[in-house]
Amino acid sequence: MTTSEVAPDLAASMRLSHPRLPRWAPVLVAVLAVAAAGLPAMLLGWSVVGWLALALVLFLVALPGWSMAVENNRAALDRLMTTLIWAAFGIAVIPLLWLIWTVVSKGASVINMEFLTYSMRNVVGEGGGIYHALIGTLLVTAAAAAISIPVGIFAAIYLVEYGKGTVLGRWITFLVDVMTGIPSIVAGLFALSLFVLLFGPEVRMGFGGSVALSLLMIPIVVRSAEEMLRLVPGDLREASYALGVPKWRTITRVVLPTAMGGIITGVTLAIARVIGETAPLLVIAGKTDSVNANLFNERMSTLPVYIYYSFTQPGITPPGATEAPGIARAWGAALVLIVIVMVLNLLARVIGKFFAPKKG
């Protein structure tokens, strides 16, 4: 082989640029895949899900194959993995969007001022609202947060600042991990047994629901606060100690303010996590159709329990109607609960950015 024959091959192998597919290539392949999958889907009578699944398989084969023929193996593998990641994202998002669309379409027509400001006291058939359940949810969740936030933050401070390598620290970490996996109904039964021992077998009160929810909140608060405290650079602590500042003041003046954004975010997400729990509140807080603003007296209704009873006891279907009035009220309450959880998550993001340490 002469030098003139080797030179082109060597130059081709040493090129820094290679042919690339046009930017519209994925769109073209997607359109062709959907069209090609449509024919067997129509002939075999498949549903839309089967049609899209076949189109996805064709897309996964066609685009990397085209890339391998025009570009190279590395680009083809990159396009294959990118497609798989986007497909996994779509599969995860579709049920969420479907759920939101279902709740909004069925519950939006029910929500009005009467629905939000009236209770179910003396309501038979249509009418009534969720005011008593909304007040109960806010009070029970606020009391649970008042119990969980101090306990969780102080436990996290002990684990990070004082309990490293100690037997008590290891036991607390182990118990927090165990509490993370406790089913919600177990927390409700524990609260019920505790209050039955203290006040008798007929006890039902909103504060019992707060205690049950706090058992579910505490491990989340501990874990989130612990991770945020660990992210605080040790140099900040050492600089404070070098100035003669005692440890407790270093924690309150340096460590906690630095980690405050993440701690508040974790606390808000913990509240959003437990606000929709049904089982513990069904067991200990009970159900009522009237407004009860006293956490320590009688039963207190909450939105999850209201939704449960509206579906299980929807009432009698009126003449000419397709469903009982309780079904529509349940969808409306579910939409309100989703909005509350969404607002809490957005609030957590805003607070986290506001309290984040400033850079530069």
Grouped pLDDT means (10 residues each) for the chain, 360 residues: 52 60 85 86 82 86 86 85 88 89 90 88 81 92 93 93 88 89 89 89 88 93 92 88 89 89 88 88 88 88 91 81 85 92 86 69
pLDDT at residue 63 in the model: 86
pLDDT at residue 265 in the model: 86
pLDDT at residue 360 in the model: 53
pLDDT at residue 8 in the model: 54
pTM of the entire predicted model: 0.80
pLDDT at residue 10 in the model: 47
pLDDT at residue 357 in the model: 65
* The pair of three-digit structure tokens given for residue 251, joined into one six-digit string: 């924690």
- Distance CA(219)–CA(153), nearest Å, equals 10
- Contact present, 88 and 316 (Cβ < 8 Å): no
pLDDT at residue 145 in the model: 93
- Interior/surface letters 318-350, b for 16+ CB within 10 angstroms, e for the rest: eeeeeebbbbbbbbbbbbbbbebbeebeeebee
Question: Domains, the chain, ranges and CATH?
Answer: 22-107 (no CATH), 114-355 (1.10.3720.10)
* The pair of three-digit structure tokens given for residue 39, joined into one six-digit string: 């024919």
